[in-house]
Structure 1
């Protein structure tokens, strides 16, 4: 059979499912395949960082995730005392203060995948399982035409399918390889994985504990003279234990290879018990899942070929699971790529826009590996004791946690300058960092006085959001400036109009949201020009809500002058793309002209 699709996704793990969800919700024709006959049922990745929760909320998926998962609010540290027993040496918040969701989330990968699968199903998309690629070719003559089906992939129906041995041909405009650490797509394209494998040997085990350890329901880092241990609370009374192992536990001395058969769940629990001394640990129920692994830290040499085939997730970066980055990095890879594919497929942007995927996400992956090397080495090292002064102290661990909190949570990730990141006028809003995600902030809606977080206006619908900070609209001098800005934005040469096709409304491509400063009187939204109030819900006020507990002081927090008019351009993935004063709207025009295409 032959299929013609916009995007073929190979691999239905978190990266593939996120990409499929994002593309399907934008109306893109997608086919997603996976060699596994069923989805992941238990185990695997289980941690969602605060920024990833914000991303999932932009697709309307966070509420269900929070409802089903365990929420982790506190990080706890245990170290050995002079008796060799572990004792609590500190506690700290487990998420940065600027997080909209000030906690981490723990839920098994299978349940997270179901959330994506249900979202895909609502758009008429399901995973074609028991299918694997066997060949991939390009049509060289079509590579420069983004509307052409320039890639052909041969798929084989595996033995576990209903039609084993059958072969299909898929003609796709773009292909995303999200097929894991042993990616067929990556290998077939000749892309190498650069990096090393450490000597740190670990295991992970999911169980319902029977213990007198007081912090079993908190994310707990335990440095013990008997080895390190990490506790992650999980859904349904479970916890995950990351247990440090020694070579003799699982390495075959004859071959030097890790052999899982040399370990059992009972042995793992016994090793964990020694690290928890003087506390006890056992389980009265069957272990849900367990594994043994060596930490590998590698990044792919490139993330795309001809801007037609891309790799995402574990296919392009592998690292330690203890920093809780794997599934988060995978989801955010696809979140970064999907809206760019949509823009090219809709004809809004040229193929060159897709170069920014590798530019942004490969640099992030390299930074992730550097962070993971430091984190995993620190956590795997022996603790400092009276008889071993060269070990890792509690202060070392706390300093590292504080230093990397922004990166680990995803809150502090910053994309470098590019066509999509222009910080020329950063001083107009000095605390909204261009290249970082838009800060969460509650505003009061002018029409109905309801409190709303600005993130809920930044839905992942492939549109750029234009936040216009207009100051006090009840001041006549300010209103004159606002009218002047509206006239500039209304011109056919303005970025709001330049890229529209005949009959197309501004809101089909851009989301305009006007934010006024706190005023002495009621804010009359009807005094604003029509271009700045496309809908009654799109005018917000920087004020405190009726309960006196939400909103206010955003201008001050963002570093925006109430007497000026400031445009903040937020990319479809929620990152601040550029900022400019109303007197330099031409710089915003130039920003969009660098990657958007004028419709013929």
Structure 2
């Protein structure tokens, strides 16, 4: 062993990449009790990477997930909360229903806005909160080699990772059980493990520039679009701290005018892109020019021990502002599953649901993005069968509207699998308002005693626990079933096992001075009232019959059963399929 090499640590998880996806993955694992057995590394010194720019927008579902991790309030303190949009045609006239108009109709969530906060500020919050849990980002530390033992058992330290300190040159050999590659589009982890990255990069180039500006555009503190004949569908995004982002297509013809594309060129093109409005930069924070393309890794989980997340397993244009959102969905899907396996609570097979759930949703995004990115450069989608002379801006508005609930994240759903199981519950309407594999809607409830309002998501934070929610309906109709159900639960070795990560909530469709008296039985867990029955209605529960919903730690619905004794066996079977 050379003088510049040292034998290092034994870890449960090594996370490669100190961007939002890596930080949120590490934060979850630290929060869930693994702070002493994980490490997160980043090859760039953060001072050089902490320039402005990069990702800016969190959509409602991303904000909800961060809220359930206890992170969103700090983001909201600094963000620009965007609820308004505008689109201007080439002559500067306002046009309705185009561009980002769907943002004004993101409903069914408390986070009904685009949370705009530049990645620099988000990462500062995430790093600080991670450090409070005892884990610091290690930088500039580069992963230079990964080897996986074929002979060591699945729960052993199968991975040997060689890390290099880019300041001192010192190398460290780390042994770990799992590796998470959150190291971007040029991922070393993905390339080292020979995971194919399918897709293509187009000839199209886009520019993004951030700064403090002056303009005569009538509406500026919005998410906007300017339909430029020379620069495509131009992005105008109000940013945090009074700044603005402008993004536009940079055609080959216009590229030829610049032997070198520098800040002055970016400013010149930005001014041209927003015509007929005037534009002046008082300060430029950041600019970039990049090629547009779409790629997806063939596997998100490989050799039973290596995960890819974020840009390392999917890259796309910034056309629909989905990059960071999609990565956060990856991280929040993976975090609790990996924690339960590390704690020895869940079977390792749980980890296979990560790729099974995330890959189809990423592919759906890529398909949208191919159309959106072409339309933003004034090209109709490949295989377009409509009017060949139609205005691409018009088609773009339609496509963005069609994709709106997927873009907001609120309709992202998973297929049936071992953790999304159709149960015996029958909704009051067909189709059911919500089903296993779909997001559990946030609903307003009242606390006993004070009767102050609270939300379901506030009462079901992501602490790597399942929540069983008993919609108890109107007690005069449901008390006999509730009593029998409660007694069977208490007798259940699985469902009354305090060692399992399960918490209970009971939601009667009435209120009273005493939850015990109202229910006619000792509550299985904390009680919250649904006096107006809006929560029962949103979940499709008949208030005269009740129902039982299981929420996954990440807030998606796991399964749903009738409020009756036989459902206890159903719930036992569900959890036996997950827990050891």
Task: State the TM-score, normalized to the length of structure 2.
Answer: 0.91
Structure 2 CA distance for aligned equivalents of residues 561 and 540 of structure 1: 17
Match of residue 276 from structure 2: 278
Match of residue 40 from structure 2: 32
Structure 1 CA distance for aligned equivalents of residues 491 and 242 of structure 2: 60
> How far apart are residue 232 of structure 1 and its match?
0.8
1:510-566 C-alpha deviation (Å, 9 max, x unpaired): 1101000025x54533554877343xxx2011125xxxxxxx522123211112131
Match of residue 250 from structure 1: 255
User: What secondary structure, in the 3-state scheme, does the structure 2 residue paired with 1:249 have?
Assistant: helix
Match of residue 442 from structure 1: 444
Establish whether residue 130 from structure 1 lines up as the match of residue 118 from structure 2: no
Q: How does 1:43-58 map to 2 (within 5 A)?
A: 43-58=53-68
Establish whether residue 513 from structure 1 lines up as the match of residue 511 from structure 2: no
Distance 1:153 1:526, change over 3 A: farther
Establish whether residue 302 from structure 1 lines up as the match of residue 290 from structure 2: no
> How far apart are residue 69 of structure 1 and its match?
1.0
Establish whether residue 572 from structure 1 lines up as the match of residue 562 from structure 2: no
Q: How does 1:125-164 map to 2 (within 5 A)?
A: 125-144=135-154, 146=155, 148-158=156-166, 161=167, 164=168
1:239-274 C-alpha deviation (Å, 9 max, x unpaired): 11111111133369xxxxxxx962233333333333
Structure 2 CA distance for aligned equivalents of residues 416 and 76 of structure 1: 36
Alpha-carbon contact 1:381-1:391 (below 8 Å) kept: no
2:264 maps to which of 252, 263, 266: 266
Q: How does 1:431-470 map to 2 (within 5 A)?
A: 431-470=433-472
Alpha-carbon contact 1:437-1:576 (below 8 Å) kept: yes
Q: How does 1:483-522 map to 2 (within 5 A)?
A: 483-493=483-493, 495-497=494-496, 500=497, 505=498, 509-518=501-510, 522=513
Establish whether residue 417 from structure 1 lines up as the match of residue 416 from structure 2: yes
Match of residue 13 from structure 1: 19
2:89 maps to which of 47, 63, 79: 79
Structure 1 CA distance for aligned equivalents of residues 520 and 349 of structure 2: 35
Match of residue 89 from structure 1: 95
> How far apart are residue 300 of structure 1 and its match?
0.1
Equivalent pairs, count: 554
Distance 1:275 1:166, change over 3 A: closer
Structure 2 CA distance for aligned equivalents of residues 115 and 436 of structure 1: 29
User: What secondary structure, in the 3-state scheme, does the structure 1 residue paired with 2:46 have?
Assistant: coil
> How far apart are residue 231 of structure 1 and its match?
0.4
1:543 maps to which of 517, 523, 531: 531
1:367-401 C-alpha deviation (Å, 9 max, x unpaired): 11001111112222169xxxx97142554233222
User: What secondary structure, in the 3-state scheme, does the structure 2 residue paired with 1:142 have?
Assistant: coil
> How far apart are residue 65 of structure 1 and its match?
0.3
What RMSD, in angstroms, separates the aligned Cα atoms of the two structures? 2.1
Unaligned runs of 5+ in 2: 1-6, 381-386
Q: How does 1:169-248 map to 2 (within 5 A)?
A: 169-228=173-232, 229-248=234-253
Alpha-carbon contact 1:225-1:382 (below 8 Å) kept: no
User: What secondary structure, in the 3-state scheme, does the structure 1 residue paired with 2:299 have?
Assistant: coil
> How far apart are residue 181 of structure 1 and its match?
0.5
The runs of at least 4 consecutive aligned structure 1 residues that moved more than 4 Å come to 526-531
Establish whether residue 292 from structure 1 lines up as the match of residue 313 from structure 2: no
Unaligned runs of 5+ in 1: 253-259, 545-551
1:92-112 C-alpha deviation (Å, 9 max, x unpaired): 451521122110011111110
> How far apart are residue 483 of structure 1 and its match?
0.8
Distance 1:488 1:529, change over 3 A: farther
> How far apart are residue 403 of structure 1 and its match?
0.8
Match of residue 317 from structure 1: 314
Structure 2 CA distance for aligned equivalents of residues 251 and 563 of structure 1: 71
1:389-441 C-alpha deviation (Å, 9 max, x unpaired): 71425542332222111111111101111111112446336212321211111
Structure 2 CA distance for aligned equivalents of residues 337 and 382 of structure 1: 37
User: What secondary structure, in the 3-state scheme, does the structure 1 residue paired with 2:55 have?
Assistant: coil
Alpha-carbon contact 2:440-2:551 (below 8 Å) kept: yes
Structure 2 CA distance for aligned equivalents of residues 566 and 397 of structure 1: 42
Structure 1 CA distance for aligned equivalents of residues 463 and 346 of structure 2: 16
> How far apart are residue 365 of structure 1 and its match?
1.1
2:110 maps to which of 100, 121, 141: 100
1:125-175 C-alpha deviation (Å, 9 max, x unpaired): 10111211222222323333x3x22211111121xx2xx221111111111
1:37-69 C-alpha deviation (Å, 9 max, x unpaired): 125322111111111111111111111101101
Distance 1:389 1:478, change over 3 A: closer
1:59 maps to which of 58, 69, 73: 69
Structure 2 CA distance for aligned equivalents of residues 588 and 481 of structure 1: 16
Alpha-carbon contact 1:73-1:93 (below 8 Å) kept: no
Establish whether residue 345 from structure 1 lines up as the match of residue 342 from structure 2: yes
User: What secondary structure, in the 3-state scheme, does the structure 2 residue paired with 1:438 have?
Assistant: coil
Alpha-carbon contact 2:89-2:226 (below 8 Å) kept: yes
Distance 1:362 1:488, change over 3 A: same
Structure 1 CA distance for aligned equivalents of residues 259 and 165 of structure 2: 31
> How far apart are residue 203 of structure 1 and its match?
0.4
Structure 1 CA distance for aligned equivalents of residues 63 and 138 of structure 2: 27
